[in-house]
Amino acid sequence: MSYFSTRFSGYNKKRLRFVYAILLPIMVWMFIFNIFPILYAFYLSLFQRGIMGIGAMKFVGFVNYGKALFNDEMFWFSFKNTLYYVSLICTIHLLLAFFVAMGLYKVTNRYRSLLLIFYFSPVVIGMVVGAVIFSYLYDPNVGLFNTILTFLGLPRLYYLTQPSIALPSLFIVNVWLYLGFDAVIFLAALQNIPQDLYNSARVDGANSWQRMVYITLPLMKPIALFLLITTFVGSFQIFSLVWMLTPDGGPLNSTTVLMLYIYRTAFQHYRINYACALTYIMFMITLAITIVQLKIGKSSWQY
């Protein structure tokens, strides 16, 4: 008896043929376009080329990584910008979404579904169109925001050209875009908390604040952690918004985030190999922080 027939006994031959006829081409495609690029990026990051990507590739080991970490101010500057943006999103944005969810939880069903259409509409509109709208709202002369400020007797703001507020201005667009979306995820978790818990706490004489602290918040922890991680990973890769509103990287590079820096390095300066190293560093940072968040989350679940 051959190895093949014993290995494949217990499987229906006709079904196996169907499975492999379908699965193999799809898996090969996935390998070429979704898995191989990751490995290829690492391979490329170990080489160097002449200026403007001309000349033969030369193996240099981890030189590109060293250069990025110890000898590239722009990398650290864009990293700092990215972290600033991410920290705004992971704190203020998520808290706002949680408050909106708490509010939506308390109103009547009919009113809630009406409000949800409003809160959810930006997701349908999308980031690119949203950015266009905000570029109009942010216009220093004719934009709505400055019109309101002038009406209130306050000085005008230069939302996208003033270094100190350029990145927060982008953050506002992100809040607008995803507030309803994240609130809906919180809301679903709130609605999953059994009413019995609240009722028995009420019988025990717990007031609304205590019910919030001892029931709602602990039970919301898993979903909050999930949102924290997905939001972190998502906003860490911010590109479209920056590209639409400040394609040049903002005043004094104040909106130059990591992804924009990588894009420029690869496709405007043609330093493909170096950009691959930057990509890998960025990937490692994301992975590390995700793992840390998971660890912290897990340890604080045990009570």
Paired tokens of 69: 């970490």
Q: Which is nearer to another protein, 58 or 302 (CB)?
A: 58
Candidate list 181, 198, 219, 251; residue touching another protein; CB under 8 A: 181
Q: Which is nearer to another protein, 127 or 167 (CB)?
A: 127
Q: Which is nearer to another protein, 264 or 302 (CB)?
A: 264
Q: Rule CB under 8 A: which of 147-166 touch another protein?
A: 147, 150-151
Q: Which is nearer to another protein, 134 or 253 (CB)?
A: 134
Candidate list 135, 162, 216, 293; residue touching another protein; CB under 8 A: 135
Q: Rule CB under 8 A: which of 245-264 touch another protein?
A: 245, 247, 259, 262-263
Interaction of residue 184 with another protein, rule CB under 8 A: yes
Q: Find the distance separating the first CA and the last CA of the chain, reported in whole Å.
A: 57
Q: Which is nearer to another protein, 32 or 69 (CB)?
A: 32
Distance, CA of 294 to CA of 160 (rounded, Å): 35
Stretch that binds another protein, among 29-37, 67-75, 163-171, 196-204 (CB under 8 A): 29-37
Q: In angstroms, what CA-CA distances link 162 with 4, 78, 165, 176, 251?
A: 69, 17, 6, 21, 6
Core vs surface per residue 9-38: b (16+ CB within 10 A) or e: eeeeeeeeeeeeeeeeeeeeeeeeeeeeee
Interaction of residue 225 with another protein, rule CB under 8 A: no
Angle between helices 73-88 and 163-192 (to 10 degrees): 40
